[in-house]
Structure 1
Amino acid sequence: MWLEILLTFVLGFVIYLFVSRDQEETLPLEHGWWGPGTRPTTEEDESIRPFKVETSDEEIKDLHWRIDKTRLSPPLEDSRFHYGFNSNYLKKIISYWRNEFDWRKQVEILNKYPHFKTKIEGLDIHFIHVKPPQLPAGRTPKPLLMVHGWPGSFYEFYKIIPLLTDPKNHGLSDEHVFEVVCPSIPGYGFSEASSKKGLNSVATARIFYKLMLRLNFQEFYVQGGDWGSLICTNMAQMVPSHVKGLHLNMVFVVRNFFTLTLPLAQHFRRLFGYTERDIELMSPIKEKFFYSLVRESGYMHIQATKPDTVGCALNNSPVGLAAYILEKFSTWTNSEFQNLEDGGLERKFSLDDLLTNIMLYWTTATIVSSQRFYKENLGQGINVHRHERMKAYVPTGFAAFPSELMHTPENLVRFKCPKLLSYSYMPRGGHFAAFEEPELLAKDIRKFVGLVERQ
């Protein structure tokens, strides 16, 4: 019986390989207009304007008033984080946020890197642009675009930036010194939200490509996780001659043979190209790929269908917003944290860092527009977009963090990115790689870039 099943899968795999061979096609470089009303007939203002994060007494007073009006429901006994965010631990966060968290101090921290805005396709796009404080003689920095996801922000990269722009002063070699650009996805934080339907990852990739050209970068590296990984992959599919290298810590692969091999992975791992480490990270398969998917994807179904409805509640309650977002920082950092009374949040993050990310959504009132990104990318279904059926033919590096939502083996990454140069099993870390393990991610980026440069 096992032999018959095996032969069936092998035959299916051969047929699949035959019908799925792709040519090195690229996404068309189109144009869009996402601002309000009709597109103006005049040329778009391409100036780059300095921007500064600010706050006010009124903003803080309103926040405190809303926090004071919070109503909490008591959790079930011994429920920990299995029912979502435990309200007993939420009381600690509320107290810290209301009485100890210093938003003005965090604004100063946010402003330690230079911020800018520029108008692209009708939207004010926010980004930080950090240049090296010093360079070895005769060297030029390597431009690197880093893109966040949901429910993160550009702030995720604040601890990794100095490791990339000033490595020598942080215990690393100055062989690779980077000039880092971290934009905010349209509708996230300080980047203006689209007024029209349809702004998806491909449109965002095009906008960020135009941003890099506007900064006079003709060739550059890109790095991303979560939505950032899809945006960066789309950019590689769109303008491969401009993307010198693609580094990811998450990858979206829809069209593949992978899921069919899962039931046999443990018994025939070598036949299907899995390593022992892959099996460890994917086991138990039913739990990791089926039960956990059902348990953890409820938010995605809501945001891919009716994001504005739940957004009304989240945009009105800072504590509700914090619970909704921080629950992801618990479970997506390590799924085992759901078994803890405090969700394990302070094992990897400080409350100041977590609340700063929350404040970037709260003070800009962008939770609704950020959630719409799911509707634009997933609302029409899976495998309906051209980019989902395409590969990315640029040099690629991948960092496989062990506590990522779903492990992606090397054979699957290579299916999507045939020019895979580097695949690393990371020793620790989860979904928010740059935020959790900045040094590990920085070292892997540097290793990958070294391989590209030596080609």
Structure 2
Amino acid sequence: MSVTTGSAAIRPFTIPVVPERELQDLRARIAATRWPERETVADQSQGVQLATVQELARYWADEYDWRRCEARLGALPNFVTEIDGLDIHFIHVRSKHENALPLIVCHGWPGSVIEQLKLIEPLTDPTAHGGTAADAFHVVIPSMPGYGFSGKPATPGWGPARIARAYPELMRRLGYQRFVAQGGDWGALVVDLMAADEPDGLLGIHTNMPGVVPPEIDKLFQGDITGAGNALASLPPGLSQEELRTCEQLDFFWKHVAYALMMATRPQTLTGLMDSPVGLAAFMLDHDAASLDLISRSFAGEAVGLTRDDVLDNITHFWLTRTAISAARLYAENTVPFFAVKGVSIPVAVSVFPDELYQAPKSWTEQAYPRLVHYNRLDEGGHFAAWEQPRLLTRELRDGFRAMR
């Protein structure tokens, strides 16, 4: 299926200045939150702990300043173009270096373009950030359909495969005949599917959530969400210790994925997320255990990879753009396995962060990506690598794409 391009016009986009009454309404809703009782356990096994979300709410209502993030977004070159009948918003920052490599950076859920903002300066201006002119990129960061300032699909069909066809069209409209792509979370699926399609001009991809799980193993865990099937006892023989450890991580993930199942099966039922900012925040925080722990420590006053403002910039962006449900529908649209092999044969670079949902074994990675040009296991960082560890991810992108220039 090809992309229907329609008008190829690239239109400048001005980040809207949110009326003060909307920010006042947000603070009033936070103040009016009806709180549940405290969890009955001493850990996060029942979800986001009451102390964490109450401190988030206090800071959000009393100290947080959206205008700072609004100004940061507004200072960047923002654009919109219609692809396949839908407006796609994107940030486009060109490097001053003549031979910069065009790069499209793809976010996921519960992310947004805000998740990638820390990458822009070191990628486009490497000489000011520990690199050389040979490391320069022109950077394009689109908002996924239904997210942020992109259009909200009014009919079914906008799943990751369609996005994977739309993004190369975006790069062509910008005049880039050669480009590379990077993704994490949903963005990882998008770049995998993009690479499997092998569109003209795509030189290769980088992923920090690679799709390398053998299909038969992936099916075992997807079919054992309740644990009744005891998937770990049904694994094929001959797996290495590293592969077995990855299987244990996959088993844990599929047993703690209720948020994704809800969005995949009943996104419209989540209407309460449009009405309660604190409800939205709690839902978005509970993506994965390691990220929740990191964010909880941030709101407890620790200096960690994500600040309170990092977290609330993203949540407030969802709230003000009213995209909780339109973003959730991506899960309902998806027909592609998250972690299984996608049939990619073009060059691939992989970065494995220790707190990712699972650590991709090199053995599986080499099988999934026969033209693997870079594989590195890092010592710190998790699922939201661009947001939490931008310095490390910048280094990985420089190293990973060096062989594709």
State if a TM-score over 0.5 links the two structures: yes
* Structure 2 counterpart of 1:283: 245
CA distance in 1, matches of 2:158, 2:252: 31
- 1:451, CA displacement in angstroms? 2.1
* Structure 1 counterpart of 2:177: 218
Question: Which 5+ residue runs of structure 2 have no aligned equivalent?
Answer: 221-230
| Matched-pair contact (CA < 8 Å) for 1:337–1:343 | no
In structure 2, what residue type is equivalent to 1:144?
A: L
Deviation readout 1:57-76 (Å, 9 max, x if unpaired): 12111111211211111213
| Matched-pair contact (CA < 8 Å) for 1:81–1:339 | no
In structure 2, what residue type is equivalent to 1:293?
A: W
Query: Are 1:331 and 2:292 matched, yes or no?
Result: no
* Structure 1 counterpart of 2:403: 451
CA distance in 1, matches of 2:308, 2:320: 17
* Structure 2 counterpart of 1:75: 38
- 1:120, CA displacement in angstroms? 1.2
* Structure 1 counterpart of 2:58: 95
Query: Are 1:126 and 2:119 matched, yes or no?
Result: no
Query: Are 1:165 and 2:128 matched, yes or no?
Result: no
| Matched-pair contact (CA < 8 Å) for 1:32–1:203 | no
Change (3 A) 1:155 1:408: same
Q: TM-score, normalised by structure 2?
A: 0.89
**What SS does the corresponding residue of 2:134 show, helix, strand or coil?**
coil
CA distance in 1, matches of 2:138, 2:294: 35
Change (3 A) 1:343 1:222: farther
Change (3 A) 1:164 1:337: closer
Change (3 A) 1:341 1:250: closer
Change (3 A) 1:345 1:204: farther
Structure number with larger C-alpha Rg? 1
* Structure 2 counterpart of 1:400: 352
Q: Using the aligned pairs only, state the percent identity.
A: 33
From 179, 198, 203, the equivalent of 2:162 is 203
Deviation readout 1:169-209 (Å, 9 max, x if unpaired): 11223221000000000001110011111211111111111
Q: Runs ≥4 in structure 1, deviation > 4 angstroms?
A: 257-268, 336-346, 387-390
* Structure 2 counterpart of 1:19: none
Change (3 A) 1:449 1:262: farther
Change (3 A) 1:346 1:359: farther
Query: Are 1:184 and 2:143 matched, yes or no?
Result: yes
From 319, 327, 339, the equivalent of 1:370 is 327
- 1:148, CA displacement in angstroms? 0.1
Change (3 A) 1:77 1:298: closer
Structure 1 residues 379-394: aligned runs within 5 Å: 390-394=342-346
Aligned residues: 394
Q: TM-score, normalised by structure 1?
A: 0.79
**What SS does the corresponding residue of 2:351 show, helix, strand or coil?**
strand
Structure 1 residues 315-326: aligned runs within 5 Å: 315-326=274-285
- 1:240, CA displacement in angstroms? 4.1
CA distance in 2, matches of 1:301, 1:415: 29
* Structure 1 counterpart of 2:227: none
* Structure 1 counterpart of 2:267: 307
After superposition, the CA RMSD in angstroms is 2.9
CA distance in 2, matches of 1:433, 1:156: 9
| Matched-pair contact (CA < 8 Å) for 1:391–1:415 | no
CA distance in 2, matches of 1:115, 1:221: 20
* Structure 2 counterpart of 1:31: 3
Change (3 A) 1:332 1:252: farther
In structure 1, what residue type is equivalent to 2:174?
A: L
In structure 2, what residue type is equivalent to 1:283?
A: R
CA distance in 2, matches of 1:388, 1:331: 21
**What SS does the corresponding residue of 2:79 show, helix, strand or coil?**
strand
Query: Are 1:112 and 2:75 matched, yes or no?
Result: yes
CA distance in 1, matches of 2:235, 2:354: 18
* Structure 1 counterpart of 2:373: 421
**What SS does the corresponding residue of 1:283 show, helix, strand or coil?**
helix
From 318, 324, 338, the equivalent of 1:361 is 318
